[in-house]
Amino acid sequence: QLQLQESGPGLVKPSETLSLTCTVSGGSISNPPSYWGWIRQSPGKGLEWLGSLYYTGATHYNPSLESRVTVSVDTSKNQFSLKLTSVTAADTAVYYCARDGLDCGGSACTNWFDPWGPGTLVTVSS
């Protein structure tokens, strides 16, 4: 059974870089070939997709955050990571990692996230 777990600092100072890692267990990050994504949820708010990557390292990002977000993969460790630069208080949120079921074969795209990690709260404060 595939399981994901986020890890990283729970407190980041304004203007610094937020770095999180998602460890995948119960399966391989590259077999079957899959996308993997990061989603966040600000306190009391809805879901916001940050970015996703294919196991090969190909990425796509939320256009509103693209200048600050980087997602990368380490297949040897069965992990993928998120970096968000120049953070502000508005970046305070619970950050989730999840498998991304993106498939744009044919004329339509399907996209879903399953399973999700339990989430990790990151607070941006000095």
Name the token pair of 111: 């996209």
Report the alpha-carbon distance of residue 124 to residue 120 in Å, rounded: 13
- Taking the complex as a whole, how short is the minimal distance between the CB of residue 25 and another protein, in angstroms? 16
Closest to another protein by CB, 113 or 124:
113
List 18, 24, 36, 52, residue binding another protein (CB under 8 A): 52
Q: Which residues contact 65 (CB under 8 A, 6 or more apart)?
A: 50, 51, 84
Stretch of 12-20, 67-75, 77-85, 114-122 lying at the interface with another protein (CB under 8 A): 114-122
Rounded to 5 degrees, what angle do the CA atoms 91, 95, 98 make?
Answer: 140
d(CA 123, CA 60): 25
Residue 117 binds another protein, judged by CB under 8 A: yes
In angstroms, what is the minimal distance from the CB of 26 to another protein?
15
The contact mask relative to another protein for 54-93 (x = CB under 8 A, - = no) is ------xxxx------------------------------
Residue numbers 4-43 binding another protein by CB under 8 A: 37, 39
Cβ 55 vs Cβ 29: under 8 Å: yes
